[in-house]
Structure 1
Amino acid sequence: MENRYACAPEHVAGMRTAELRERFLVENLFTDGEVNFTYSHHDRVILAGAVPAEGAQLELPTPEALHAEHLFDNREAGIINIGADAEVTVDGQTYTVAHKGLLYVGRGTRSVTFSAPGRFYLYSAPAHTEYPTTLVGPDEGNVLELGEQETSNKRTLRQLLFNGDVKSCQVMMGVTTLAPGSMWNTMPAHTHDRRMEAYLYFDVADEARVIHLMGEPSETRHLVVANEQAVISPSWSVHSGVGTKAYSFIWAMAGENQKFDDMDPAPVTSME
């Protein structure tokens, strides 16, 4: 499991491109036949990618660095499938997770096994109580149509794990898909000092990239992000981006509260 330590904004202001990427960009989450973990000390979240090989199942291991018998002894997670519809088995119960669907796995779970042809992204945070495993389809939850074509940010936002029918301790998670011809996400930008967030960009064409904006609103930096790469966004940082083509991304949050609209706006005219 790769470690990413927390950074204060005054440290980030002086970082060069290579160090920014080393600290905040997760480039290699998805490897055939493996589970890859990245541990962020921002709210102690874990990002993981699981890609079962064709004809084989892939068991979710417990990283030794957690010093726990099971990954979910003290944690919960949302798992979103960015591959074809596939099965996930949780403590002997099998669920079919659709493309862009979500499976919530609660504290106390003992075993999770993935099946091909799925391509699974996991976002985990510490949990203080147990909630049941719950399957959410890609068009269930709260679906919002946002933005305008004339501002290049027409998009569909799906709140799949969001303080509603699916209970969680602190993880919130969903999928945003930009319409063809739209490229901007989360602009006007914002911060939310009560929780951190991570973005996984996917459906990014091989020849395309997303320019992800980060940093304090008055001291922005950027990361150039390719397909199936993730960005760790501290609570004090904006998290916005523009692509060279339309794309999708998974947003996932953990921290002080679960109020989706608890944001501190950063108008574009105030950013530097």
Structure 2
Amino acid sequence: MYEKTYYATHPSMMSRATNDELRDRYLVSKLFRAGQVVLTYSHGERFVIGGAVPGATPLTLPRQADPASAKDHSLLERRELGIVNIGAVEGTVVVDGEAFRLARYDALYVPMGTRDVTFSGEGARFYLLSVPAHRVYPLRKVTLADREPMYRGSREASNERTIHQLILPHTCLSASLCLGLTRLEPGSVWNTMPPHIHERRSEIYLYFDLNDDHRVFHFMGQADSLRHIIMRNEEAVISPPWSVHMGAGTSNYSFVWAMAGENLDYNDMDVLDLCQLR
């Protein structure tokens, strides 16, 4: 069921890890494959990170296949799910018989206890993020127009960007999932400025809206010993609670950020001065 399992790691391993080992432990790639639902599992907050790319026939969110104790149970028996359509074409998600049309950048919150989820629409590309939940919240579609966006950065600093908070308490209730979309303006390449860490949450970034010949340099690690991973279009990266997360691309791009952990406070972060980094 899960193509790969990512285990929790200690910050001390960063200084000894090769580039290939960093990629193996934190980079989530090849999520979006035509005609497939691809799921991976991270022990950090027990995230399920996946992609669904329907073709001529609909796709169904798989039921549990492992471990043996969970076999044939609904994946969302004790989980909630966030879905974002990052494709250029509108698609449809059907949740226990109720259909939702998701245009580009639209999101859908799917509550714990949901039995069946299907995806359809050639050209749609659904990004999936699921974490454990403790109660049921309402099923809800969220669009970019549902809340006033946040404008951050500047063209002079090459980090002019628009932040859309899609699944947070003031936009869409959830048990522990926080999710949003950030889009950089042309000429801007730096995201998440100033850099910071979330000691009480893990975070996943999915970088997209990149041409094939462009890359994002994703920086991670502790402030006094940064490392980086070079990322392609539609690749995700796992950021542990102890890790700085920030990136710079060879062009502007978009990214979906998702967090889960102890709280739902968007502003719960330890901000770092750039002069602290080395």
Q: Same fold (TM over 0.5)?
A: yes
TM range, smaller chain: over 0.9
Question: C-alpha separation between the residues in 2 aligned to 1:204 and 1:238?
Answer: 23
Q: Does 1:71 align with 2:72?
A: no
Question: C-alpha separation between the residues in 1 aligned to 2:232 and 2:90?
Answer: 23
Measured after TM superposition, the shift of residue 142 of structure 1 is: 4.3
Q: Which stretch shows the higher mean deviation, 255-264 or 161-170?
A: 161-170
What aligned pairs does 1:152-171 form with structure 2 within 5 A after superposition?
152-171=158-177
Q: Does 1:8 align with 2:10?
A: yes
Aligned to 2:232: 226
- Give me the CA root mean square deviation: 1.0
Aligned to 2:63: 62
Aligned to 2:127: 121
Measured after TM superposition, the shift of residue 141 of structure 1 is: 3.0
Q: Which one-letter code corresponds to 1:65 in the other structure? A: D
The answer to whether the 8 Å contact 1:187/1:268 transfers is no
TM-score (norm 2): 0.95
Question: C-alpha separation between the residues in 2 aligned to 1:14 and 1:63?
Answer: 36
Q: Which one-letter code corresponds to 1:151 in the other structure? A: A
Question: C-alpha separation between the residues in 2 aligned to 1:141 and 1:108?
Answer: 27
Match of 1:46 among 45, 48, 57: 48
Aligned to 1:19: 21
Measured after TM superposition, the shift of residue 65 of structure 1 is: 2.0
Question: C-alpha separation between the residues in 1 aligned to 2:156 and 2:99?
Answer: 44
Aligned to 1:237: 243
Question: C-alpha separation between the residues in 2 aligned to 1:165 and 1:185?
Answer: 22
Q: Which one-letter code corresponds to 1:60 in the other structure? A: L
Match of 1:199 among 198, 201, 205: 205
Question: C-alpha separation between the residues in 2 aligned to 1:81 and 1:65?
Answer: 27
The answer to whether the 8 Å contact 2:146/2:171 transfers is no
Question: C-alpha separation between the residues in 2 aligned to 1:130 and 1:165?
Answer: 16
Q: Which runs of 4+ in 1 moved over 4 A?
A: none
TM-score (norm 1): 0.98
Question: C-alpha separation between the residues in 2 aligned to 1:7 and 1:224?
Answer: 20
Match of 1:134 among 123, 134, 140: 140
Match of 2:258 among 252, 259, 270: 252
Q: Which runs of 5 or more residues in structure 2 are unaligned?
A: none
Aligned to 2:85: 81
Q: Which stretch shows the higher mean deviation, 191-200 or 132-141?
A: 132-141
Measured after TM superposition, the shift of residue 14 of structure 1 is: 1.1
Q: Which stretch shows the higher mean deviation, 146-155 or 62-71?
A: 62-71
Question: C-alpha separation between the residues in 1 aligned to 2:31 and 2:148?
Answer: 28
Q: Which one-letter code corresponds to 1:190 in the other structure? A: H
Q: Which one-letter code corresponds to 2:58 in the other structure? A: Q
Q: Tell me the alpha carbon deviations over residues 210-266 of structure 1, each in whole angstroms, 9 at most, x when there is no partner.
A: 000001111110000000000000011011000000000000000010110110011
Question: C-alpha separation between the residues in 1 aligned to 2:216 and 2:171?
Answer: 32
Measured after TM superposition, the shift of residue 136 of structure 1 is: 0.6
The answer to whether the 8 Å contact 1:89/1:112 transfers is yes
Aligned to 2:103: 98
Q: Which one-letter code corresponds to 2:155 in the other structure? A: Q
Q: Which stretch shows the higher mean deviation, 61-70 or 11-20?
A: 61-70
Measured after TM superposition, the shift of residue 133 of structure 1 is: 1.0
The answer to whether the 8 Å contact 1:29/1:229 transfers is yes
Q: Tell me the alpha carbon deviations over residues 144-198 of structure 1, each in whole angstroms, 9 at most, x when there is no partner.
A: 1111000000001000101114110000001100000000001220001010000
Q: Which one-letter code corresponds to 2:54 in the other structure? A: P
Give 3-state SS (helix, strand or coil) of 1:65's partner. coil
Q: Which one-letter code corresponds to 1:162 in the other structure? A: L
The answer to whether the 8 Å contact 1:142/1:160 transfers is no
